[in-house]
Amino acid sequence: MGQRNTDTAILIFSLSARREADRKGLFGKGNKQSTNEFFDVLIGRTQKLAAASGVDAFFINEHKQKGLTFAERYANAFQQIFDEGYTKVISIGNDTPDLTTKTLRKAIDEIQHKDLVVGPSTDGGVYLLGLDRSLFNADEFLNLPWLQSSL
């Protein structure tokens, strides 16, 4: 087995299962517990996937996020990991059940040679975003059209 990559980290940017269940009634209004359990499974799966990637992983939910808007919270999460000394951060969420360890490892390999790695989603957003510290500019990051199909 190869040497562990120490300059790259995975950012799992997520809400807690409870908060997700409060926001999304996947199984109907009266079935909040089932929605909570569903998100517990998704979050657990995502954490296992990140742990198997070969790099350090950080789970940053609403309890650790700082900022008023999504953009502020997301930018601050990236900055927090860069401040820990990592030079490359790959962000994923808890809402991509098709994401595989193979895809995540490919992104880790690619970010070693590129400043930006993007996994586009069909709704116009991204399911994976990898940034080299040299490319990260908090002001520009904040001005991206987050949570919009034009991203």
For the chain, the domains span 8-142
Amino acid at 99: L
- Name the pTM for this structure: 0.90
| End-to-end CA gap in the chain | 38
- What is the per-residue pLDDT for 107? 97
Beta bridge partners of 59: 12
Segment 61-81, tens digit of pLDDT: 999 999 999 999 999 999 999
Tell me, what's the pLDDT at 65?
Answer: 95
Show the low-confidence residues of the chain (pLDDT under 70).
1-5, 28
Return the structure tokens found at 137.
């500019």
Contact status, residue 18 vs residue 64, Cβ threshold 8 Å = no
HSE, side-chain direction, 13 A CA sphere, residue 108: 24
The fold of the 8-142 domain, in CATH, is: Spore Coat Polysaccharide Biosynthesis Protein SpsA; Chain A (3.90.550)
pLDDT reported for residue 102? 95
Q: Report residue 132 as tokens.
A: 């080299």
Q: Is the dihedral of CA 12, 16, 20, 26 positive or negative?
A: positive
**Which of 88, 82, 90, 75 is CA-nearest to residue 132?**
88
Quote the pLDDT of residue 74. 95
62-69's contacts with Cβ under 8 Å and 24+ in sequence apart are 62/15, 62/16, 62/19, 63/16, 65/13
The pLDDT score that the predictor gives to residue 108 is 97
Alpha carbon distance 25, 98 (integer Å): 21
